[in-house]
Chains A and B, each alone.
Chain A
Amino acid sequence: MTRAFASVELGDDLPEVQPDVSMENVRLFCASARMPFGRFTDHEKARAEGLPGAIVPGIMSQALLSALVHRWSPGCRIENMDTIFRAPVLVDSKPTCRGVVTNTDPESETIELDLTIVNEAGETRVVGTAQVRL
């Protein structure tokens, strides 16, 4: 059920999610997204390209952040999402997706979110913002 706009406040944290970025799941995503590239699906091939290991595709990171938002408010509409990939999210790592409400607009009944994906060390790998209509 969609969350009521009136129930949302600046500073509200979205429940954290630890997404499945195992090689198996990333390969499934890449197959459906038609992105059969070794840097995403094979650690050795990724290392041959100078990466520390296979990396989660950027559009999969965006999808994980979208899922975070929809888990918090099912049925809401993400008007836009803007992500900056500051460092790779590694396949087979244990990242955490986080979100927090940074603005509420009563006129349009939209909210703004900061979204991040951090790794096990707490380092930010992906930052983003989203505008969401509840």
Chain B
Amino acid sequence: MILDLHNHSIKSDDGRARVENYCQWIRKRELPLDGLVLTEHRQFDTESDYRKLEDTYGLLILKASEVETDYGHVLVFGVNEDLQNAFDFTRVDLPLDLVLREARRCGAVAAPCHPGRINVGLCAHYGERGAVEGVELIETLNGGSRSGEDDRALELAKDHGYRGFGGSDAHIVSHIGRCATRFDDEIASMDDLVQALRGERFEAISWKS
């Protein structure tokens, strides 16, 4: 099962894609995706209900968040009410160790994304301040990465023994499906996804040319 774990819709301030257009695009271009995860910036979207789109297009559509920490941006899968009350998602300077700790306490998974990116990635901060305990999973393939950024992420994962996943980081329709994650097991819900990401039965994949 292949899911694109990192995408933004018009709910994000810099997102320009409607979710239905992502779905249409996936089907029109026959992308090998079984679903996508919406990771809106600095928020968790409690309003949108994508079940009708799931039925229409035969895709799994899940919701997560991308928060901003003192070590760069972090995807949080499995956001629930407890976690929303644990810290302020709108802040741009959340302590990474707080996000990791609270995510774990609330049954979620927090994973630094595009770690090789300058300023908003983990690698630069590790270089200056050292590694953070509690990181286990990072985005090793990101659809928006520039030259060398994914290589740095893969090296970081290798050096620290982190598991790696992939996501497109799409902000416009045509950028979905550039990177994704292939799971050995069926994923039907956010609970399934969180469980799978805690294990090792998945791999990051890329279709970037």
> A-side binding surface: helix, strand, loop or mixed?
strand
Cβ A11 vs Cβ B147 within 8 A: no
Q: Which listed residue, A84, A87, A102, A124, touches B173 by the CB 8 Å rule?
A: A102
CB 8 Å contact bits of B19-34 with A (1 = contact, 0 = none): 0010011001100000
Cβ B146 vs Cβ A102 within 8 A: no
Residues on the A chain within 8 Å of B16, using CB: 82, 84, 127-129
Q: Which listed residue, A10, A100, A121, touches B146 by the CB 8 Å rule?
A: A121
Cβ A10 vs Cβ B147 within 8 A: no
Cβ B28 vs Cβ A114 within 8 A: no
> B-side binding surface: helix, strand, loop or mixed?
loop
Q: Report the count of interface residues on B (CB-CB < 8 A).
A: 18
> When chains A and B are docked, how far (Å) is the Cα of A102 from the Cα of B173?
7
Residues on the A chain within 8 Å of B175, using CB: 114, 124, 127
Nearest-Cβ distance from residue A104 to partner chain B, whole angstroms:
10
Residues on the A chain within 8 Å of B209, using CB: 122
A9 to chain B: closest residue by CB: B28
Residues on the A chain within 8 Å of B174, using CB: 100, 102, 114, 116
Residues on the A chain within 8 Å of B21, using CB: 102-103, 112
Cβ A10 vs Cβ B171 within 8 A: no
Q: Report the count of interface residues on A (CB-CB < 8 A).
A: 19
> Is the C-beta of B14 less than 8 angstroms from some C-beta in chain A?
yes
Most chain A beta-carbon neighbours within 10 Å: one of B25, B172, B173: B172
Cβ A11 vs Cβ B28 within 8 A: yes
> Is the C-beta of A123 less than 8 angstroms from some C-beta in chain B?
yes
Cβ A124 vs Cβ B25 within 8 A: no
Cβ A84 vs Cβ B14 within 8 A: yes
10 additional A-B residue pairs with CB within 8 Å, beyond A100-B174, A122-B209, A129-B16? A11-B29, A84-B14, A102-B17, A102-B174, A103-B21, A103-B24, A103-B173, A121-B146, A127-B171, A127-B172
Which A residues have a C-beta under 8 Å from some C-beta of B? 10-11, 82, 84, 86-87, 100, 102-103, 112, 114, 116, 121-124, 127-129
Q: Which 4 A/B pairs are nearest by Cβ-Cβ distance? A: A102-B173, A114-B174, A114-B172, A129-B16
